[in-house]
Chain A
Amino acid sequence: MTAVTDQDPTEHTGHTTGEVVPAGRPDQAGRSEQASASEGRSEQASALEGRSEQASALEGRSELGSALAGRADRGGRSGQPSAQPADESGRSGTTDRSGPGNGQEPDRDATERVTARGDVAGDATGEDAGGAGRGAPSQKRGGERHSRGYHARAMDAAVSRRTERDRERDGAWGRIGESGRDRNGDAGAKRRAASEREAAVGHESVSGRPVAYEQAVPSVPAVASGHSVVSERAVGAPPGSADGGEGAWGDGLIARRVDERNGGTDPYSVVPSRPAGSSAALMPLAYDGQLRSRLDALRELVGLSRTRLDTGTLGEAGRVLDEAAARRRLSGQHTVVAIAGATGSGKSQLFNTLAGVTISETGVRRPTTAAPIACSWSDGAASLLDRLSIPGRLRRRPIQYPDSSGSPLRGLVLIDLPDHDSAAVQHREQVDRILRLVDAVIWVVDPEKYADAVLHERYLRPMAGHAEVTFVVLNQVDRLPGEAAEQVLDDLRRLLDEDGIALGEHGEPGATVLALSALTGEGVGELREMLGQFVAERQAPARRISADVDAAARDLRPVYVTGQRTGLSEEAREEFADRLADAVGATAAGEAAERAWLRNANRACGTPWLQLWRWYHDRREPPTGRLPLRSQVDEEATARQRVEQAVRTVSERASAGLPTPWAQAMREAAVRGAQGLPEALDELAVRTGLPPGRPPRPGWWPVAVLGQASMTLLQVVGGLWLLGQIIGFVPPDLGVPVLLMLAGIIGGPLIEWSCRIAARGPARRYGHEAERLLREAAAGCGRARVLDPLAAELLRYREVREQYGRVTGVGAVAR
């Protein structure tokens, strides 16, 4: 309970400062604390006597609480520096909670209490999930953590089951193990007991807890102010507390001791990562947010493109995903480092030197090492080695220093590989297989072979993206005289640079290049130190996976990106519509309609004499041009070839700038859409064309006809009048009848002419209307059948393209 209350102040710190603490920093601090920690551990056997001890532990915790409160004050004042202590103390609190429980194991009745206490602990971790949500209003990243919290909860049971299995393997390890592991074996037994208890606790925590523990909840965000830390804690908390059976056991004490000694003034007193590392690694690996989202994006990308790309292209990406998932399930406390190199470069020698004991056979016989050998500096690496399929008889332990817990290489799993360049092909196959699975690689080269083509071309260049998890070690410098070593090292650097490997000089991320002699030990200390730091950072698996994702993305680049503009332009759409209109004959139909209208107008409004003449003319001419059979509906009225060409052109335009598979998909979509398009257009032309028969007559036509009739009448009247004068029937008067006739003769054509002028506008409108109807109908049909599927396909490509951008980590993608 105290632990719970302890954490309240830390919560405040976390909130008031709102700072993100990098995950690596506490770890380093932890190592600096190594000495005191181990000290605490050696004391623990005697210290853990029983309840009195527990009482003091509680006391200690209350002290811790006050110390934290003090720190919180400071944090409020100074911002960033204080966030870190808050983080640490929060974590220490977590381990704390389950800690005493195991400590009291011998004591019967204490155990009961401990179980209760374990409840609290497991519960607090279980509540992480819900708590994140409940505390959300006061948290900045509440929502985000919320979902992750649920994930954590769901995983609880699974993880604890798995850790059981792990532990059993560890037991096997213990059997294989050499001397000096008694303590470990002991611990293993204890841990098994503890984990059984914990499993139950885990259950309870899953089932949810009363609100009484809610106060513990808001502390979690404070603990997990760093991104990666959040997930690590959330996912790994139940097993973490379970393995606390051994690790946190000492930890509670250490926390107490530190507090007692320093009176809470030292903010770096307790580091949570170390105890977990010292015990069996049961905390699975966790990737940070960016890597996780990239992996998710890659998974989605593979899913989206499965129908478009063949499995060979996606094979590597799928493999990376599988490996990432497989690695993720395994220990995050360990870093698997392979020693690779040419035959005779001294891989095994270096391996033995690092292990401090002759594990791997060395010799002058080439090639020497035929199968990979593993050496693990701490427990819990069994599943990792299973993944590499290294058999149990080839798993070793390094020499046990008197103070083994303080080994700086804790968490390291070293693999000695066979050579990659000898005439024995199966060696190369083994190397290739294992290199894909390890977290980091130490390339051992020697002065004789450092420029071998096979090393650079086959391995270093393709793995240039993995520079951050690469060490290149120039071995056998004792064979080089004086400054020659420097020269060769420089040349090696130059070659690596040419291979495209970023060199980790001047603190930049990149490959580490070292010169050493495994034989004399020169430079080995430096490598050991770097390895220790590297392993303690625990970033190698994530970096490796990240580099794998980079490489997979780079390989996939040609099938997703062309760097050209994509999309269907407006011109292309219009051109498509024009071509379809041509295919159905919209223009011709419009012109024909316009002319027919005009013709009808002329016929209607022309002078009767002209019509008479036309009639006569038609009778003389053979009756062609208006054959009745032509009114029948033609089949295939649409020009198939034009439709086909239009579809082809538009699909070509749409797929311009797309990578080949997607262009192909675009073409297929267009062809699929174009099936039945000509038939649809045929039908359309019949349906939407102008109604057959005579075009509509405008209202002024009767007037015009009337005018023509009256003009004719005038002519007739004038003529009759004149005739009457000639006959003598009427008195001769030339003036009026001539005038009448003249008016009729001039007026008739005049009306006809003006009608023709007047008809022009409506005729054009009529023709345009006819054309527009057909054109729009055709364009609509084309849009529905071809353009829309194309646009959908384009959209799908863009989606994939964006997903790819997310994989590469660039984010927004230039289209």
Chain B
Amino acid sequence: MLQNSPEIGHSSHVVTLDVRPQLLDALSALRDRVAAARFPLPLAGAPRARANRDELLAQLDDYLVPRLKEPEAPLLAVVGGSTGAGKSTLVNSLVGRRVSEAGVLRPTTRTPVLVCHPEDHHWFSGMRVLPDLTRVWVPHREPDDDLLLPGENPTRVLRVETADSLPPGIALLDAPDIDSLVADNRVLAAELLCAADIWVMVTTAARYADAVPWHLLRTAKEYDATLVTVLDRVPHQVVAEVSRQYAALLTKAGLGDVPRFTVPELPESAWGGGLLPASAVAPLRTWLAHRAQDLGARHDAMARTAHGILDSLKSRMPELAGATAAQYAAALRLTAAVDGAYDGEHARVRSRLQAGAVLAGDALKRWRAFPLDCTPEELLDSLVESLTALLLCSVTAADERVDETWRREPAAAAPELAGRDPAPESAEHRIGMAVRRWRRELEEYAEDEVRELDRNLAPDPAVVAALVATVLLGGRRGRSAGERLAERIGAHGALRLRDRGGRLLDEHVDRVLHVERERRLAPLDGLEVHPEPQAELIAALSVLQKER
């Protein structure tokens, strides 16, 4: 193995890692805020925000909080890289025996393997880091054993191995491919990298220009994590050229000071899953051992990664907050669309009622025939039906307008919002109930009025009710009904009855439209998109900044 970088340590990053309980409190408060952030509306930035949140959460849960709580825990070096880069072979060679399956079929590693010194085993057997992964520990495993427990989801399992050959104080984790065809593997690999003190990025002579690993390298730079790159499987004829190229690329990306190790392609490395000779990986092994045993170096590596993540919060938290704000803004727009549509329809219903639109069609024909060829009950029935039709029509129209507006909103594509009950009959039913209730109350009012009148002159309460309904709903056309009503129960009584009935009508119409609007908004309210998370996230960040 060749040592390309003359300067390995990060002398420029001598930082102390003093952890006060206040900082931990602030951090866990921040963690809770992050965990509570939700992005249910499918906006353009939502998937990214969700991924950012998950990544941040993984870093906080799997790395930062446990690391700050227990700085003495062994370092974790995660070996990551593209499929076929030889990660497992590298880990096996570093350990000195076959702990991770290597092979020619891709993707090879499906279960992450953690290797540590037996003394360090307790650090990793618990749920201190990577709490989502089920631990599998097979102490005396034959190399050819089946690695998986039956019925276990292979991607959510962490296999813990111990090896005496590894120095205490450091653990190696063989991660799945970062660009695997299996999507779960990719997610898991990203998650595992979040838990690392030291990122060991493995690439090969054929791959060092691939886009995906470079993306990870840039991420590592962004978080200022302790990073090592290994250029694996370099045919010995071209070692010098390839490694020069790679160095140039790294320098160009601003990663020139990252330690680089080159592993030549040996027959053992290829496809056999055999171990590389110790000499091939000795420099890397020494470097890692140095991190583990030298207190200063260890502290450097740890502190650099930890502070890198803490620093990265400064930009990532506002990003999350921005995403939650965008969610809230979108929810607000959706609500405004509903409110606008229903308000508009409400105004229309009022103006139609004023204009006497209810006294049209069937109802009008009945009214013309009243009282000679039509009973008051029939008139009232048809008026009630007509009013129901008016309300139903405006509710449907409002829904249609909402749909129209929502169709242009990307946020409205959320499955919770799309799947509203498609049965307008239920709305018809609800409106019909409300209108019939109004009718009953109106009839009671009419009876009240009639009861107060002289017994023998008293008109039929049904006629009075029909007339007052006509007056209320007929607008200008129902004026003659008012005259007749006045003739029957006197001008004073007619006025009183009319006012009461009018108030009652307004009340019922308002209630109907309000209920329908609420029903329409219920799924949106159910998503619970509020303005608070934004402020809370920022507040948690500023508390944390103060405590550092």
Contacts and interface: CB of A to CB of B under 8 A. Distances in A.
Contacts of A648: 393, 396-397, 400
B482 to A, nearest CB: 12
A150 to B, nearest CB: 48
Contact of B480 (A345, A421, A491, A630): A630
Nearest to A588: B365
Interface in A433-470: 446-454, 456-457
B393 A644 contact: yes
Interface stretch (A556-564, A620-628, A803-811): A620-628
B370 interface: yes
Contacts of B204: 448
B1 interface: no
Nearest to A639: B361
A245 B389 CA distance: 83
A481 B269 CA distance: 12
Contact of B214 (A423, A487, A630): A423
A451 B104 contact: no
A585 B363 contact: yes
Contacts of B390: 641
A325 interface: no
B393 A344 contact: no
B270 A479 contact: yes
B480 A589 contact: no
Interface string A468-502: 00000000000111001001100100010000000
B360 interface: yes
B373 A596 contact: yes
Contacts of B396: 645, 648
A45 interface: no
B514 interface: no
Contact of A585 (B181, B212, B364, B370): B364
Interface string B208-224: 11111010000000000
Interface residues of B, number: 63
A113 interface: no
A448 B207 contact: yes
A636 interface: yes
B452 to A, nearest CB: 20
A342 interface: yes
Contacts of B272: 481
A449 B207 contact: yes
A367 interface: yes
Interface in A545-570: none
Nearest to B233: A448
A512 interface: no
B333 interface: no
Contacts of B84: 447-449, 451
A639 B389 contact: yes
A630 B369 CA distance: 10
A491 B83 CA distance: 14
A689 to B, nearest CB: 10
A641 B394 contact: yes
B83 to A, nearest CB: 5
Interface in A591-634: 591-592, 595-596, 599, 622, 624-627, 629-630, 634
Nearest to A681: B361
Contacts of B361: 582-585, 588, 637-639, 642
Interface string A335-351: 00000001111000000
B271 A587 contact: no
Contacts of B179: 452-454
A734 B233 CA distance: 143
24 contacts: A344-B207, A364-B241, A364-B245, A366-B208, A423-B209, A447-B271, A452-B82, A453-B180, A453-B212, A479-B270, A481-B270, A491-B106, A585-B361, A588-B366, A599-B373, A622-B487, A625-B370, A625-B371, A639-B358, A639-B363, A639-B389, A641-B394, A642-B386, A642-B389
10 closest cross-chain pairs (CB), A and B: A344-B206, A639-B361, A451-B106, A588-B365, A595-B373, A366-B209, A592-B369, A448-B84, A585-B365, A641-B393
Interface of B: 82-85, 104-107, 179-181, 186, 204-212, 214, 233, 235, 238, 241-242, 245, 270-272, 352, 355, 357-358, 360-366, 368-374, 382, 386, 389-390, 392-394, 396-397, 400, 477, 480, 484, 487
